[in-house]
Structure 1
């Protein structure tokens, strides 16, 4: 098939013919005859431009014009249809573009590429620069679109604010030495202390593939707060201690235990014990070690040359002080015997066998009423009463019994009286300053003075409340001290010579054996009555 596009024919001048065939554009140039004019090159190129044949070989065209051989010469191969391949990956998260061409490419390739991409369904993550690269580099496979992977939610997790990892490690002192008496066996917390916090699971963010399809995200897995015993939820997702005690983490659950149990002795295997709750010791407390608790202390064995402090202290097998250490119960102390020891209790000391050569004091009573019920040697003092079976011995060992006195209470009484006077002076000064300020013209009062009056008013209320509480406590102590004036010493069996009895400010040495006696103060002297 051929088409004569244009013919300039002259019997004298040269002429040309442009024809389009299936394989391209052909040019034929005929020479002039009889001295005619050769074909004008500009006319040929003008005709080619009109036909939008822009990819012709210009050098070849000029050669054909010069030769004017009348032969049909291919000057521009046919424009090839590009092969455009758009491939989408199996997971639809990537799309690649490959363009293959043979020979000149017809115009508007960009539009054809975009049309093919649209037919493939790729709509998301298209990179225009990548498409441009694929067009300019035929044959190369270029990733031109990428999807967005979903971001799956994070699982909930627990952060613990207490650790049991360091338990059992000796305390390292400032000079680098190690204190093997302090092994940090227990992690102790106070009410309200933060134990653990949960960071909730997140929902994640959905993704989208290159075809524009939404990819759902997997939400994270949730967790429950690791609630054990004696804990509660504080702020949202926070676990706090509801009591003071020892932290235990069992099966990832956090509990606070108000009791520490030592299965053996308190010695180098346990180190010293200091705890906010109660302590139960199945063995004994060995020399040089201490047990200090805000709760009760129960020792199944003995305390030998150690220190024990607690609310109520029970030492079943007795106290061997070894002239070192001490025992202090804020309320009551119960034991079998006390020997060569320093012992004190806020309320009562109860001994089933004997007190030997010791310093024992109680806020209210010291009672030794077992089978022996013996007090021999040392100093025994009580606020209200000392009661025993036998006091002293036939060797007249110096023994001192004192009732009607509570040194800690008396000291508190004296300190409280001093503090009351200070608060009364402060309150008086505050009230006088307020009186002056209130007498001023409130309309012309400066801001500084208004603020001062407000502060003084608040201070006045605080001082009045403080003074009321202090006076109430003072009255309670006065009543307790008044009761102590009626202190008694009761001996159910024998009171031996060598014993010195003190009741309040009165002193009476015992020079003769006394049986079944009750000693008390009356009319300015210590009298001996019958045991009741």
Structure 2
């Protein structure tokens, strides 16, 4: 039996080839008279190369009640979407017994357990520190035309070994090469450093410390002394007007009272209970449980002061991403400067690297030009004079040095560009109140706070500083 009446079956395959639709074109006067055979629909689908995921029940319905589906698009085939792969990750088995959050742990009675805010775990030689979980390729899908649809593969991740650690041959496992304590330094490199312990204060009886490893001080660091570490520094007491430099993180249990002397500089994080009249810089975060007063504080990413008091008064605070506190300023409108959303030191370094690269490229060009002349002489005379041969050796060595230098500069340039590209929208968040007297800067935008704001987030929208209520 053939179909009856005037109609046309149009087939449309979606751009992603995951769906196919039919459009039954019928003149209005013929709608009640047409008869459509299932074979006609399948032939139309076949003509459009639709062969997978055909919805037979829909085809049956169209042929049973053609008037219902006339002049309307109906999905008649459904493919299988590909499943995207998962990104690679790194697991840290040595942290299994450590509960380490982003900030100080709040106890049941509301107090803050700052003593355990950063645990520097001991590890043994040969202990597994990190395990790479590779990215998955995902699962392919199937188009309605029967073709496989390739999935989006997950993004791979690389282990970043530092000092005193070893990778297995497959570069999927990282082990401790010595007994010591784990420290993360620049660009998230994982290290194991030996430990230097001071059982009391850093004073005239101990002197300055410069140690290739992690330093643990069970007392205070007094005025005028200096502690340098290629790992972490942990001070169980307080720090006065001293200088502390760590390539990893710095933790100070009892706070910093610097009297506008000395400085605290960490490649990664600085964690402490309070900062007063001090100069503090961290490559990543500055996390303070109680207060920051009349200090200069810089963080590559965030400054967080959200403890039971959590107030920031006076001074200059600069963060690449966010500054957070319960209270900003006071009722006396003490001037306080907050700057977010820019990383001037990175941008300055990038400009410097670009300039250095131009010089290196120019020197490479001149070196290659000189080597080209030597090659021309060699082709003509078949042998270089002694002075020319010596010059060729010098030029060749110079080229090797310049090539190595250019690769190092290019790698650092790429890292900086990636970090600057990854900058998210900057914010300043007051979880209780922000008082007048605050000057906030988002890049080139400046805003002065002239009245109180309660539970407010400040962000940039459409080129202006805007506010939103914190829930």
Please give the range of the TM-score, normalised by the shorter of the 2 chains. Answer: 0.5 to 0.7
TM-score by length of 2: 0.56
Equivalent residues of 2:377, 2:384 under 8 A apart: no
Residue 337 of structure 1: CA displacement?
0.5
Regions of 4+ moved over 4 Å: 242-245
Of residues 470, 473, 498, the one that matches 2:437 is 498
1:517–1:427 CA distance, 2 compared to 1 (3 A): same
Say if 2:193 and 2:214, in contact at 8 Å, map to a contact too.
no
Number of residue equivalences: 282
CA deviation after TM superposition for structure 1 residue 518, in Å: 1.7
1:353 corresponding residue in structure 2: 290
Q: Distance in 2 between matches of 1:497 and 1:284?
A: 36
Does the CA contact (< 8 Å) of 1:244 and 1:276 recur in 2?
no
* Matched-pair contact (CA < 8 Å) for 1:403–1:484: no
Task: Trace 1:50-199 onto structure 2 (pairs within 5 A).
Answer: none
Distance 1:443 1:397, change over 3 A: same
- Give the number of the structure whose alpha-carbon radius of gyration is greater: 1
Pick from 374, 380, 385 the counterpart of residue 447 of structure 1. Answer: 385
How far did residue 367 of structure 1 move?
0.8
Work out the CA distance in 1 between the residues paired with 2:404 and 2:224: 45
**2:443 is the counterpart of 1:507:** no
Where does structure 2 lack aligned partners over 5 or more consecutive residues? Answer: 1-163, 165-176, 181-191
Of stretches 311-320 and 468-477 in structure 1, the one that deviates more from structure 2 is 468-477
Residues 303/442 of structure 1: CA separation in 2 closer, same or farther (3 Å cut): same
CA contact (8 A) 1:353 1:374 kept: yes
* Aligned counterpart in structure 2 of residue 367 of structure 1, from 304, 321, 333: 304
Q: What SS class does the counterpart of residue 303 from structure 1 fall into?
A: coil
Quote the offset at 1:521 in angstroms.
2.3
Contact 2:209 2:228 in 1 (8 A): yes
Paired position in structure 2 for 1:216: none
Asked whether 1:523 is paired with 2:459, we answer no
1:257 positional shift:
8.4
Q: Which residue of 1 aligns with 2:202?
A: 266
CA displacement, residues 296-347 of structure 1 (integer Å, 9 cap, x when unaligned): 1111111122222222110011111112122111211000000111111111
Separation (CA, whole Å) in 1 of partners of 2:360 and 2:325 = 45
| CA distance in structure 1 between the aligned counterparts of 2:406 and 2:372, rounded to whole angstroms | 20
Aligned residues of 1:506 and 1:525 also touching (Cα < 8 A): yes
Pairwise CA RMSD: 2.4
Distance, in Å, in 1 between the alignment partners of 2:424 and 2:355 is 23
Q: 2:319 aligns with which of 382, 397, 414?
A: 382
| Alpha-carbon distance in structure 1 between the residues aligned to 2:296 and 2:405 | 37
Matching residue within 402, 407, 422 for 1:468 = 407
Cα deviation code 1:95-145 (max 9, x no counterpart): xxxxxxxxxxxxxxxxxxxxxxxxxxxxxxxxxxxxxxxxxxxxxxxxxxx
Matched, 1:290 2:229: no
Distance 1:308 1:457, change over 3 A: closer
Whole-Å separation in 2 of the counterparts to 1:375 and 1:486: 22
8 A Cα contact 2:193 2:231, kept in partner:
no
Question: Quick one: higher RCO (CA 8 Å, sep 6+), 1 or 2?
Answer: 2
Cα offset, 1:529, TM superposition: 2.3
Is this contact kept in 2: 1:262–1:280, CA < 8 A?
A: yes
Q: Which runs of 5+ in 1 are unaligned?
A: 1-229, 231-241, 246-255
Q: Give the one of 413, 416, 419 matched to 1:480.
A: 419
Contact 2:323-2:340 within 8 A present in 1 as well: yes
Does the alignment pair 1:302 with 2:238?
A: yes
Cα offset for 1:280?
Answer: 0.9
Tell me by how many angstroms 1:374 deviates. Answer: 0.9
Alignment pair present for 1:340 and 2:277: yes
Match of 2:342 among 405, 416, 424: 405
Measure the CA separation in 1 of the matches of 2:267 and 2:454: 33
- 1:49-104 Cα deviation digits (max 9, x unpaired): xxxxxxxxxxxxxxxxxxxxxxxxxxxxxxxxxxxxxxxxxxxxxxxxxxxxxxxx
TM-score by length of 1: 0.50
Report SS of the residue matched to 1:372: coil
* Deviation (angstroms), 1:370: 0.9
Equivalent residue, structure 1, for 2:352: 415
